[in-house]
Structure 1
Amino acid sequence: MSDRNIVMGVRHNADCGLFVAPPGIDAYFATDDQLRLNISSKISQLVLFGWVGGPAAIGLGFSRSPFVIITSREPMYDIVGISGLEGAIRPSPSGLKRGTDQDGGITFKPMTKATATIVDNGSWMAIQTDRPTNYAVYNQPFT
């Protein structure tokens, strides 16, 4: 019998899914670390992704709380030691503080925290932010 580089269905260990192995490896008998692709288990899946420019209410329609990651966009043009940059910052907030020259010294101001609150057990979420922030909603936490 020749090697099966692709198996769609049930493998020898009763895993059901799509399995792709490199040349010379039989996907039916391969261990998980030998596979190039293994889609077989209930894994975290991105179900919603978007951007908000300020506070927002996002309808989710779930019956349980999903896992949410938020990432803010922070201008870094006025952060001490960094000049002319802007980009996505994780975690949100970054923990960096803004500084300005004032009377020959530097005044630091803490960043406002961006938050996402799941409401009604996943029915919707409230995002509180004062700058562009993206949200990624997953069906379950990463394992």
Structure 2
Amino acid sequence: MGSSRHDERAAAPAERSELSLWIAGDRLRNDVESSFVETLEGKVALVTGAASGLGRGVSEALVARGAQVTLVDVDEAGLESAATELGANAEAVVADVTDRADVDRAVTEAVDRFGRLDIVVANAGIVGSGMIATIDPARW
């Protein structure tokens, strides 16, 4: 057995178990990443709150996996910075998601630019409390 390859059968029970989990986890991660890339190639997304933080990170991940992304935020400078960084597959739309007309305009601009809309990441928001069933739409 002059192989330098690790022989799983020779490992102690705890090592075998950990090695099996590691191999299974690695295979699953590769399968998920592969199918994630395939499913986003050519898809069109709209991400709110895209100028910074989680929204910007999600936008970066979407573009890296082949999606075209409309970035939506009220922060014009941050939005332009994100769009410039992401390149031709990103479009910046300054819009306030609390204004229905702005939301309609952002969706229209996404569809006009990229031809359709497949994914929406509703990330913009503020901290508040209340039950969604009872909160006033103006407060929402």
> When the two structures are superposed, what TM-score results if normalisation uses the length of structure 1?
0.27
Structure possessing the higher relative contact order (Cα contacts under 8 Å, 6 or more residues apart): 1
Q: In proportion to residue count, which structure has more helix?
A: 2
